[in-house]
Each structure stands twice: as structure tokens, then as C-alpha cells.
Structure 1
């Protein structure tokens, strides 16, 4: 019993390192919450920043599956992740992206939202994405793409990941004007700001020792 609880992290004697079981629950929980945030945004035709935002833009423009686009667009960034961040981070991120992509596609089978105001969807979607990403970051993973770059820049140069992500998000929002209405972009910006402020305030590698 002691061995089992230790493996699960209940009696983890090293607070600076997560056990495999702790990492697994963190990846699953983070992916579930992030997928729910993306689902809220999709229900009212909103988008977000980062690679998910680009996947949304292409999804609204082409009608192709968001989950598939999100998974495929992230593939090139794993090269950077392997070279700059490490195998462990890359594998965890690959699993998180794959799981999140799958969950977004099947979410409607378990949850049907008949009506929600765009501004509320933007705020809730942004917060849920923030909580999901925070869980993934704290287990040395991300939702790939620009998140990989953001975490690398934070670790290498000390610029917070949320601020790095926000800069890229503004570029994604500019592209969105080509495929959605200005009001949709405005609501989406609200969600992106909520997401990135949440990460900027809550994600600091010097505060959370398990990231070292």
C-alpha cells in the first residue's frame, strides 16, 4: 500500500519532482479543462490565440475538423521542442495535444450548449483554457505550437509565457478579420486577454518548484 500511494504521489517524498502518476493525472485533467474551454468558444463561433486560434481560423474558413487541424498544425513545433526543451516535455506535449484534439471532437456527445452569450463564452472559455494550460505547464507540458515557444522563451530569457503568448495572439486575431465578423474578433480578444492575464499572474517558474 505504501508503494502504491508513493507511486500515486500521495506520499511523494520529493516535492520538486512529480511522479509518473502525478504527471498523468495532470495531463489528463489539463487536457479535459482546456478542451472544455475550446468547446465553449466554438459554440458561438469565437476563436483564441496561439495554434488553437490558427486552427479556428482555418476551421471557419474551410470547414475542416478543428481537432484534426489543431493536431496537424502542431507537428512542426515538436522539432523545436526536442532541440530546445527536451524529450520529456515534447512527449508530454504531444500526448496533451492529441488528447485535447480528440476531446474537442467528441465533446458534443456529452455536453450540449443550447444558448450562451458570446461575452460569457469568451470569459469562461478563456479562464478554462488558462486553468488547463496552467495544469499542463506545471507538469512540464503545453498545448504545443506557440505554447512550446512561449515556455522556451520564459525559461531562456525570463519573459513570462503569458506575455509571449499574448503577442502572438494579437497576430492571430488580425488574421481572423479575414474569416469572421469584427464583433466575433472583439469577443475573441476578450477571451484571449482573460486567458493570458490569468497565465501571466499565475504561471511563474520561480514560484512553482516542481517546474525546475
Structure 2
């Protein structure tokens, strides 16, 4: 008897934990690249970066605080397992972004490289979380809810929201850094739009 490799299979607990750890580390490393190059991105992470540049408050505290109101939607619409995994993911990103600069020293980074590679890492990290029914909070929660309930692509919806946040960046960052940030956001969202859609991945949590 052969195994049907196309049949959905449930993720085990250790697989969810591993995916969350890897996903949040990728997201965090991408954000550290962005912060070092004075770039921003979309969603709550981009908002937290902009506020960090303006106020000087560390990204981790801002990111964790901004996401708190979205947990209500996560619980009501996506269920407790999703909400708990998302809370853990946000907490890990807040922790990792605070400590990665202590673990590696990036003395100089090209802003275009930071935008493209950082955006790619953030996109792959978010994809890992999405596939294990978790997110990095905020707009990601709303994007997943809309995709699961109304068939609206999570990547395309988030691309629209990110556009608004990146427009606001013109009032905070130099023009060239906003252009680099837009390129990074395109890479990030195309990774999600291309890979996170019905039928592309059959595992579930």
C-alpha cells in the first residue's frame, strides 16, 4: 500500500515549535537588517520601526505593544491555538530583535542588500508561521482571517496595507530609504502571495 503524498497531514507539536522558532528568527534577522540600514516594512513591524526612529523606543517593546489589540480578533475569529502560537511568535520576535545585535555585529550593510535579503527573510519567516497556523500578529492576523473566510489572498491584502504604511514613511525616512523599503516589501509579499495559497501546501496544524 502506497502513501498518498498529496493527502493533508497534521503537524506534530514539535514540528509547530520548530517552525515557530525558525520563522521568528528569520523575521527578526530581517528586521535587524532593516533597522541597521534605516529601512522600514509593512504591517505592525513597519509601524514599530517608524515609531522607533521617531521616538527612540526599542522596536521590541513597540512591536509587542502594538500587537496587543489584535489578539482579540485572533481569539474570536481564529481560535485559541492560533492566538497562543501568535502571542508566542510576537514575543519571540520582540526578544530576538532585542538580542540579535548582541550576538552579531553588523558594522556596515548596503541598504539595497538589506532591503532585498531582509525582505526575503521576513517573507520566508512569515510563510513558515502561516503554514503552522501562527503569525507575527497585527495585519497578519487580519490577512489570514480574510483568506480563510473570504478567499482574499493574504499576500495581496497585506501588500495594500503595507503600501499605506510605506507612504507614511516618506514623512520619516530619506527618499532613497523609502524606495529601498518598497522593494523589500515587494519581495516579502510576493513570497507569501506565491507560496501561501489553497492547494500549494497540504500540511495543517
User: Does the pair score TM above 0.5?
Assistant: yes
Structure 1 stretch 108-117 or stretch 142-151: which is displaced more? Answer: 108-117
Greater alpha carbon shift after TM alignment, 60-69 vs 202-211: 202-211
Matches within 5 A, 1:62-73: 62-73=55-66
Asked whether the 8 Å contact 1:33–1:129 carries over to 2, the reply is: yes
Residue from 48, 55, 60 that aligns with 1:55: 48
Which range is displaced more, 128-137 or 173-182? 173-182
Within 1, Cα distance between the matches of 2:96 and 2:198? 28
Aligned to 1:105: 98
Task: Give TM-score, length-normalised by structure 2.
Answer: 0.94
- Structure 2 CA distance, aligned partners of 1:15 and 1:109? 41
1:122 pairs, out of 99, 109, 115, with 115
Q: Which runs of 4+ in 1 moved over 6 A?
A: none
Distance between the aligned counterparts of 1:147 and 1:41, measured in 2?
19
| Aligned match of 2:39 | 46
What pairs up with 1:9-28 in 2 under 5 angstroms? 16-28=9-21
Counterpart CA distance in 1 for 2:193 and 2:200 is 12
Whole-Å separation in 2 of the counterparts to 1:178 and 1:116: 23
Structure 1 vs Structure 2 CA RMSD: 1.2
Choose between structure 1 and 2 for higher RCO, CA contacts under 8 A separated by at least 6 residues: 2
Do the aligned residues in 2 keep the contact of 1:71 with 1:101 (CA within 8 Å)? yes
- Is contact 2:41-2:162 (8 Å) kept? yes
Partner of 2:4: none
- Aligned partners of 1:205 and 1:211 also within 8 Å: no
Question: What is the CA distance between 1:56 and its match in structure 2?
Answer: 0.7
Aligned partner of 2:79 among 72, 86, 91 = 86
- CA shift digits 1:38-90 (9 cap, x unpaired): 11111110010000000011111101010100000000000011111111111
